[in-house]
A and B are shown apart, each in its own frame.
Chain A
Amino acid sequence: MNGAPDPNDLRPHSSLGMTPPAFSSSAVPSGGTHRPMFPADAVRERLRGARQFNDRLAAEPGSWGPEFTGNTRNEPPTLRTPT
């Protein structure tokens, strides 16, 4: 054997791109439990918290907000054309 790959073997000879990452769930036996590495509910809960944060931020714009229609001293800006 000179270590040359068998031309009829279509399996990849390099593990690059084909090896599951270190945190793969390969150690979990088939038919085992289905608990995620991070509790999905906790992740969902935090995402819900982030949504609440932004909902509150968007709410109640205040008396100086959207009803203000314009300041005549402001010249309209123009966007520079992308180069």
Chain B
Amino acid sequence: MRVPESRDCVLVIQGGGVYALSLLGQARAVLDAGYRPRGFAGTSAGAIVAALLWANVSQRDIERELLQAASAGPDGLASLLGTVELGENADPVGFEALSRLASAGTGLLGALRTPGHILFRAGRAFASVIRLWCPVSGVIGRRGLYHGRPLTDLLDRLLRLGPLPDEIRHKNGLLTFGDFHAAAKSDSQFFRPPLFITATNLSSRRLELITSMDRAYDDVPVASAVRASASVPGVFRPVDLPMCGPGGTFVDGGVITNFPAWVFSRGFRERLNHSEDCFEIAGLPWIRVGLRVGSAERDMRDVRIPESFWGSLFRMLTGDARNQLDSLLARDSSRSITIRQPEPACDGPAHWLDFPALGPDLVKGMVRAGYSFAKRWLDLAGRPSIMSKASEAEIRGVLDDLVTLCAAALGVPRDSVRASLHLVDDDTLVSACEANFRPTDTDRGLDMGDLVTGLTGQVFSSRLPHVCNLEAVAEHRRSHPAADGSEDEPLFGMPEDMQAKVADQPDPPTWLAATPVRDPTELRGASPDESRFLYEYPTVHSAPLPGHVDGPLFGVLGVHCRAPYGAGPGRLGLPAKAEEQARDVRVKLVLGAMNDASALVAILLSRHFPADEVKLT
């Protein structure tokens, strides 16, 4: 038996200021461990990392640009924040006040490092900031300290380094989601999976989920959306994105959700199903991989002491409560793993906004520490894959039993029935297990090569059970030999040599029923109006049956019969037309047994997935 080590995933990256570097290192380790993202979501610093991965920017390009920015001046990556602009009518003393303002700001950051005295020190520092800030009226009017244009420019420069047609790569102005969409439309080599960026619309006081999936965001510059997601209130000025709707003034997405794991919930599947650009990945199973910084543990505080009381309250109101809710929502997701790196293990500055400390050495060190931490986490967890090999013997038994049941239901000798299990491996369906095949069968271990070929591919891509009269298909093949230049798709998309393996063998199968093996963690009711891949064949050959449940698939279970059609002992006794076969009571019994077996197989494949929470020693 062959269970593929499939590690398709959706990647969720939390916000965290300077810890973007740790998260970048973590992401690299996840990719090096063989995880293949089918979607990205991020907030703030996480949005930066998610967007760069989504744009397919090479690690070397990211490293080079980051190191250049960190080496540009004495203040490290603080150069990306930009300057405090005073405007044309600025008070001339404002320039001198700026350095004092910066000192006060640093004092504020320093105060935040000491939780025990946080309120007192923050209050004092805030007072000094206000005292210095007030004369600089232009700054107050701008609703934040830094304009952050260097960060936007750096992001846009990096986004252009991913695969893009030249005319888009060199276009004027910031690259928009529409540009990336146009690139994907022009050539599949520019395909990108969905990206979600959170931002807080301060005008409407709502969360905005800016996504590459929704054409409504086509005019939104990707770098601006990321910059909006990272607009830490007060530190960065808000970003105006009028194309996102009325108002459209955005601050950090982390104001509402700092770890948006909930993005990849059931609603995402439904959006994929209705997406004309990527509906084919809606049926793929995945692991939810979360990248985080910060310990989940909380120290106990004696809040009878006023300082502790106000300190705890301040922390809850400024993010702790939101973080806990994010964690609870993430934990509710099935098949998820969360890598959570404690701050002391990040090798970074003490405070998450201490950008001036990020010189080249610290930048490197933080990325490395993130990589190292995530690699160890994944090694320790055994690099979890979607399906487990641990139940192979039990699955073989399920298929053997299924053969016996189906032979009895059809009223044919057991020797004339066999079963096969194909499982998804990246973008192919591979033969994982077979029961009652004969050594002389030429279609043993037949891989499908992709997700749409053969009745197996048809079932996988449509997510519907099918029955198929293989005798009629073989007859059709004989009477319609493949002709050069024919516009017709080969039968079930199968190349001639693959068809020959099935049909040109001694005692070939005459009938086939195939049913989806559904991911048991994401079952839901079926909706008839979703996009499905479906070959359009004469119903004498094959017919789909309704699927009352839907969801992503692990693979396809098949039952093949070799008995000849017609009435009499040892014969199949089914009508010739597949559409009529689908109404036959015996076929219904067979499909019932197959549904039962496929559910059991799916549970056996998925039951060894590890717990999603990590407790750090």
Contact = CB atoms under 8 A, between A and B. Distances in A.
Given A66-B32, A76-B376, A48 B613 contact: no
Given A65-B371, A73-B345, A11 B537 contact: no
Contacts of A60: 58-60
A7 interface: no
Interface string B190-222: 111100000000000000000000000000000
Interface string B23-51: 00100100110101110000000000000
Contact of B188 (A46, A56, A78): A46
B548 interface: yes
B5 to A, nearest CB: 14
A57 B464 CA distance: 32
A3 interface: no
A36 B489 contact: yes
Contacts of B316: none
A19 B546 contact: yes
Contact of B367 (A56, A64, A79): A64
Which size class do A's interface residues fall under?
35 or more
A12 B587 CA distance: 12
Interface string B304-347: 00000000000000000000000000000000000001001101
Given A43-B280, A56-B56, A36 B582 contact: no
B171 to A, nearest CB: 21
B380 interface: yes
Given A52-B191, A64-B25, A77-B614, A36 B36 contact: no
Contact of B193 (A10, A21, A48, A53): A53
A2 B368 CA distance: 79
B31 to A, nearest CB: 6
Contacts of B377: 77
Contacts of A43: 280, 451-452, 461, 533
B372 A68 contact: yes
Which of A20, A45, A58 neighbours the largest number of chain B CB atoms within 10 Å of its CB? A20
Contact of B427 (A28, A50, A76): A50
Given A40-B493, A50-B427, A73 B369 contact: yes
B482 to A, nearest CB: 11
B434 to A, nearest CB: 25
A39 to B, nearest CB: 8
B535 A40 contact: yes
Contacts of A53: 56, 191-193
A76 B426 CA distance: 31
Contact of A79 (B38, B163, B535, B614): B614
A8 interface: no
B227 to A, nearest CB: 23
Contact of B32 (A24, A33, A58): A58
Interface in B523-561: 528, 531-540, 543-548
B617 A77 contact: yes
B582 A20 contact: yes
B101 interface: no
Interface string B572-588: 00000001001101001
B158 to A, nearest CB: 13
Contacts of A46: 188, 191, 277-278, 280
Interface of A: 10-12, 17-26, 28-38, 40, 43-54, 56-66, 68-71, 73-83
26 contacts: A12-B583, A18-B545, A18-B588, A24-B539, A28-B537, A30-B539, A34-B491, A35-B536, A37-B534, A37-B536, A40-B533, A40-B535, A47-B450, A48-B427, A49-B188, A49-B191, A50-B38, A50-B427, A51-B426, A56-B56, A57-B31, A57-B36, A57-B56, A70-B372, A76-B376, A78-B615
